[in-house]
Amino acid sequence: MGILQNKIDFVAFVTASMANANGDPLNGNRPRIDYEGNGEISDVCIKRKLRNRMQDLGENTFVQSDDRCADSYDSLKSRAIGELGEPKDDSFEGKREYAKNACEKWLDVRSFGQVLAFKLNKKEKKKSSDDENTKDKGCSIGIRGPVSIHQAVSVDPIEVHSMQITKSVNGEPAENRSSDTMGLKHFVRFGLYKIKGSINVQLAEKTGFTEEDAEVIKECLKTLFENDASSARPEGSMEVCRLYWWKHNNKSGQYSTAQVHRSVNAVLKNKDKMPDSFEDYEIIENKLDGLKPEVYELC
């Protein structure tokens, strides 16, 4: 398939049931929540899950988490140098060529972009003699990706619960810690989150993002929580319920991305009842003339 030619917008509705959708490390790992009481999932968290799904689908990814590392590299720098070598110089042409090679090599780089930073050894002549000094010079290569993801926000305020837990065994010698060490586990009773995103054609042309790559992103969104289970998110507690995928008929889009995202909303059927499932919501679709989404019912 060729380079992406049509702008794409998408919206996914995902549920969290008795799970910590995205813990805040600055708040005791409690589920993220805004000042209005709505739950949040950071865009970084969503991209991490998308990258994991890319790996599961056999795609090359540059940013790999430690527990999913598929090669022998222990850092992003070592992976970049090991696969592409060091940049030859810090000239515009040199940076552009290095960025092109990185985009061809890794799907997540040509999707989300990346900053690649290096120290280059550069020889400089002393003013007082012909001796040469070797001096480290920084080289930063910035790549803007076509796939942008908003932070997800819950449709309604969420209830955050905390459960006190104990350890039945010692992690340290008995004189240092007793077997009834106390701790807390936080979770959302139920929340429906709206994930919004877009794929920009002009940036796709720069990174080489293709129609086939867009299909991979779509598949990753549909299966976002596969192989993502943990104690904070038990298997089945996080679910993608519905995905809307709009493909415009031109590069710039028939409508603005904001208009497209606003055209689909979830509304409680019974406002007097606390929601506990996706079925408690009605999805309101405001049709846009000439632009019909692909709709995937996933739960």
228: left (phi over 0), alpha (psi -120 to 50) or beta: alpha
The number of residues making up the chain comes to 299
Q: Is residue 277 part of a domain?
A: yes
The pTM score is 0.90
**Least confident among 9-18, 119-128, 224-233, 267-276:** 119-128
State residue 107's pLDDT score: 98
Mean pLDDT of 246-256: 97
Largest CA distance in the chain: 84
Q: Which domain holds residue 213?
A: 8-297
Q: List the one residue out of 230, 224, 216, 227 whose CA is nearest residue 242.
A: 224
Q: Is residue 155 part of a domain?
A: yes
29: left (phi over 0), alpha (psi -120 to 50) or beta: left
State residue 169's pLDDT score: 72
Angstrom distances, CA of residue 55 to CA of 59, 101, 107, 229: 5, 19, 10, 16
Tens-place pLDDT, residues 168-204: 776 666 666 666 777 889 999 999 999 999 999 999 9
Q: List the one residue out of 165, 47, 196, 157 whose CA is nearest residue 109.
A: 47
Q: Is residue 125 part of a domain?
A: yes
Q: How many CB atoms lie within 10 A of CB 77?
A: 14
**pLDDT at residue 128 greater than cutoff 60:** no
State residue 130's pLDDT score: 53
Q: Is residue 284 part of a domain?
A: yes
**Number of structural domains, the chain?**
1
Q: Is residue 89 part of a domain?
A: yes
Q: Give the confidence band of 125 by pLDDT, cuts at 50, 70, 90.
A: very low
Q: Which amino acid type is present at position 236?
A: G
Pairing of strands 8-19, 182-199: antiparallel
**pLDDT at residue 223 greater than cutoff 70:** yes
Q: Is residue 1 part of a domain?
A: no
Q: Is residue 3 part of a domain?
A: no
Q: Is residue 2 part of a domain?
A: no
Q: Give the confidence band of 124 by pLDDT, cuts at 50, 70, 90.
A: very low
Q: Give the confidence band of 132 by pLDDT, cuts at 50, 70, 90.
A: low
Tens-place pLDDT, residues 84-113: 998 888 889 999 999 999 999 999 999 999
